[in-house]
Amino acid sequence: MKKKKRTVRSEMEPHPRDWNNARVGQWLKETGFEQYQKLFDDRNIDGGALCRLTEETLQREPLNISIADVHRLSVCIQQLQQRHDPSGKAPDPRLFPYKAYEVVDMEDSENSLESDRELLLGKPDDNQNTVYYRRAHSELRKTILAMMYGFLSHFLTSVAIVNAQEKLPDKKQYPPLPDIYLDNFAVIPWAYKVSESVILSLLALMGVIFVFHKHRWVVLRRTLVIAGSIYILRCVCVTVTNLPMPEKHYKCDRMVFQDTWSKFQRILVVYSGMGMKIGGMKTCGDYMFSGHTITITVATLTAIEYTPKRYRLLHVALWLYCFCGMWAILASHGHYTLDVVIAFYIASRIFMYHQTFANNLSLMRRNRKRIKIWFPVFYFFEKDTHGIVKNEYECPLPSLDAIRKFIKDRRVDFCLKQYTPFRHS
């Protein structure tokens, strides 16, 4: 008789792991935790995810339940499971692919992207594989948008450089400003080649990292967003303030354009030459603050951030290389000392803030509205951040075994499609 009652009850009331989000919210209200209803609903926690929550997962991201409620809520979850599973045994997680909890882990886990890959692809549910590939597609889409953002900032920088040279102050009327380095050290003509050689070599190193890093799209996206944001800020500074040339004997005069088309052609020349003098291009007037220093700083910090921490000698060498490039900028008298110092400070601070927010999900979740208002570009690209990215490398080309398996799977699918109509006929 007892077994019959239990069967009737199980038919009337579904098992907690089969609850939807609304039923979970109702249960929270019944147990006195109605303050967490919206949090659980926002995290898409259904009954399957609820049954797998522990004290540890309740305390950490993305839930951040207060310590005073963690133990009580954990006890309530255990009592709920024991009420429906009198044996006291927790269900085998391999038998129940809880999609809702997997999505929570994928979006808010403090682990790396690789943990998400293993979490999803290791499950037998095809829907989870679809979720993972959807996430990968989203990463690629955001990377393409970041590239467009980077190209736009580079174009705006070229426009600002041409406008600054068009409004260049007269050297006779506005002599160079006093500078502690430029006034005490003579110009070194070949120093600009050193600074731009440092830039090119660091860009080449970044290219190697982008190609072989396991999470290349995330690294490339973050680098482009950081550099693009800094260069847009530089465009504003260069446009609003025109400083006199720091070197008297440098031959770079104010440019006069006959029409808009000739000015646009000059912008394209600066854009294609990346504003570098090593190719014979002469630009002046864009002094506040140094674009060369921005590139050197961001490239150095990116190489250090996305290479293993055990490569300490490489990181020390990169810092020395970075300061050598900045010294070469001053030695060539291409910028004031203030330009280089401000550029290094702004580039390093923005890089640090971006990485700190992207790697610490608690800062993202607790200050979501504030970040959305004050850092809209960062919020757009990092609102679904995965957390810390592991510095792992791989060959970007598929192996022969992977190619063979891909071809074999496609052949099997083709044969099944051909065989199915014949079988039904």
Total residue count of the chain as it appears in this document: 425
Enumerate residues 6+ apart whose C-beta is below 8 A from 296.
Answer: 195, 198, 199, 202, 322, 325, 326
213 - beta bridge partners? 393
- Active-site residue flag, 339: yes
Strand residue runs (E) in 16-153: none
Q: Could you give the CA distance from residue 175 to residue 244 in angstroms, rounded to a whole number?
A: 6
Cα separation, 223 vs 321, whole angstroms: 19
Show the DSSP H helices in 241-311 as ranges.
260-273, 291-305
Q: DSSP for 161-207? A: HHHHHHTPPPTTTSPPPP-TTTTTS---TTHHHHHHHHHHHHHHHHH
Active site residue 292: yes
Residue 317 CB neighbour total at 10 angstroms: 11
Given 154, 213, 333, 335, the catalytic residue? 335
Q: Please, which residues have CB within 8 angstroms of residue 203's CB and are 6 or more apart in sequence?
A: 295, 299
Quick one: residue 280, left, alpha or beta (phi over 0 = left, psi -120 to 50 = alpha)?
left
Q: Residues 6 or more apart from 335 whose CB is under 8 A from it? A: 246, 287, 289, 290, 292, 293, 329
Catalytic residue among 154, 213, 215, 292: 292
b/e 276-296 (16+ beta carbons within 10 angstroms → b): bbeeeeebbbbbbbbbbbbbb
Six token digits for residue 387 = 């957390």
Cα 128 to Cα 30: distance, rounded to the nearest angstrom:
31
Cβ-based neighbour number of residue 348 at 10 Å: 16
Residues with catalytic annotation? 292, 335, 339
